[in-house]
Amino acid sequence: MSEGSRVLRVSEVIAETPQACSVVFDAALDYRPGQFLTLRIPSDECGSVARCYSLSSSPFTGDAPQVTVKRDGYASNWICDHVAAGTELEILPPSGVFTPASLDEDLLLFAAGSGITPVMSIVRSVLAQGRGTLNLVYANRDETSVIFARALRELAAEHPDRLTVVHWLESVQGLPAAEQLRTLAAPFAARETFVCGPRPFMTAATTALKSLGVPRSRIHTEKFVSLGGNPFERATPAPAARQAEPAEEPAALTVNLDGAEHRFAWPRQRKLLDHLLDNGLDAPYSCREGQCSACACRITAGEVKMLNNDVLDSEDIADGIVLACQSLPLTDEVSISYE
């Protein structure tokens, strides 16, 4: 097993649609609504591959943790075809920042297809633990492809004053365009917004929100990117990565994580995530290659450079968001926050 990983036993597999299923684990997990798990999937060609799947359960309902998987490539198909009660899967700890700061705040939610998975975790959590009101716009190809159709219907019936669901079916209305989504979003433009789905849908939704004047800081997006590397095989840096650092004076690093402030000297050629882990901090991560947003943090002072970035857009970077796994210091002092 890899450092930081654990093995979970599957207790049940629930068929959600003909193309999607939920994998329920017989274990307790400490996670936040909207986070994901990285699973190790066996492969005859390369031993294993790693894929990220969002948790669709809530940590506040008493239900067992579950991820929901839609057929889309080797790993997802393998899960849908082979995983059953009793299967054991190796996972990395829950990761991701697609999670509301408060469950008491009113939220606007946009989801399409399997993008409903982390959004469903947020919905369940707000209704169970918070006081917020939720308006969800959920787009799918047709009625048979609506994941959680029954669960959403039941939740809306139980909380008619707090949850409103608007279904958008491509078979009836065509693909949703920014102008149409703008009309649906307009009454709720003051709310914190979460968007997840295929890239064209997310582009249309974020374009609609920006046209309404919603600040970038209040628009949260979750991007699904296939990992090119395997964090299960790379969780511990190779010996070559631990060679002596150049003699250049290290930067002064301040880190706010889990409500505590930490200060370190940061060697100039040491990646931020590696340095934090070496110093005993439980910093979040998954792929370690700049291909997911699990290690994302915010620069509050100073400047860094990223060696690789396949997930953050220009607006994320302008807001000070960086990937810790790819960041090196440029200034003598750097402050970052995971809060």
CATH number, position 212: 3.40.50.80
Average pLDDT over residues 222-245: 59
Say whether pLDDT at 243 is over 60: no
Last residue of a domain, one of 95, 115, 150: 95
Q: Which of 86-100, 159-173, 245-259, 312-326 has the highest mean pLDDT?
A: 159-173
Residue 252 lies in a domain: yes
Q: Say if residue 87 is in the same domain as residue 112.
A: no
- β partners of residue 279: none
Confidence of residue 236 (pLDDT cuts 50, 70, 90): very low
Counting beta carbons within 10 angstroms of the beta carbon of residue 4, is it exposed (0 to 12), middle (13 to 18) or buried (19 or more)? middle
* 15-24, 25-34, 37-46, 186-195: range with lowest mean pLDDT: 37-46
Q: Say if residue 214 is in the same domain as residue 111.
A: yes
Q: Say if residue 258 is in the same domain as residue 328.
A: yes
Confidence of residue 330 (pLDDT cuts 50, 70, 90): very high
Say whether pLDDT at 234 is over 70: no
What local confidence, expressed as pLDDT, does residue 238 receive?
43
Neighbouring C-beta atoms of residue 269, cutoff 10 Å: 13
3-state helix/strand/coil string of the chain: CCCCCEEEEEEEEEEEECCEEEEEECCCCCCCCCCEEEEEEEECCCEEEEEEEEECCCCCCCCCCEEEEECCCHHHHHHHHHCCCCCEEEEEEEECCCCCCCCCCCEEEEEEHHHHHHHHHHHHHHHHHCCCCEEEEEEECCHHHCCCHHHHHHHHHHCCCCEEEEEEEHHHHCCCCHHHHHHHHHHHCCCEEEEECCHHHHHHHHHHHHHCCCCHHHEEEECCCCCCCCHHHHCCCCHHHHCCCCCCCCEEEEEEECCEEEEEEECCCCCHHHHHHHCCCCCCCCCCCCCCCCCEEEEEECCEEECCCCCCCHHHHHCCEEEHHHEEECCCEEEEECC
- The pair of structure tokens assigned to 301 is 């002072």
How far is residue 177's CA from residue 223's CA, in Å, rounded to a whole number? 19
What local confidence, expressed as pLDDT, does residue 65 receive?
98
Domain that holds residue 16: 6-95
How far is residue 252's CA from residue 254's CA, in Å, rounded to a whole number? 7
How far is residue 253's CA from residue 264's CA, in Å, rounded to a whole number? 5
Q: Say if residue 184 is in the same domain as residue 210.
A: yes
What local confidence, expressed as pLDDT, does residue 293 receive?
79
How far is residue 98's CA from residue 118's CA, in Å, rounded to a whole number? 8
Average pLDDT over residues 5-20: 96
Last residue of a domain, one of 95, 118, 142: 95
Quote the number of domains for the chain: 3
Say whether pLDDT at 27 is over 60: yes
Confidence of residue 245 (pLDDT cuts 50, 70, 90): very low
What local confidence, expressed as pLDDT, does residue 282 receive?
87
Give how far the C-alpha of residue 248 lies from the chain's centroid of Cα atoms, to the nearest Å: 36
Higher pLDDT, residue 318 or 7: 7
Residue 318 lies in a domain: yes
Last residue of a domain, one of 42, 62, 95: 95
Average pLDDT over residues 265-280: 95
Residue 230 lies in a domain: no
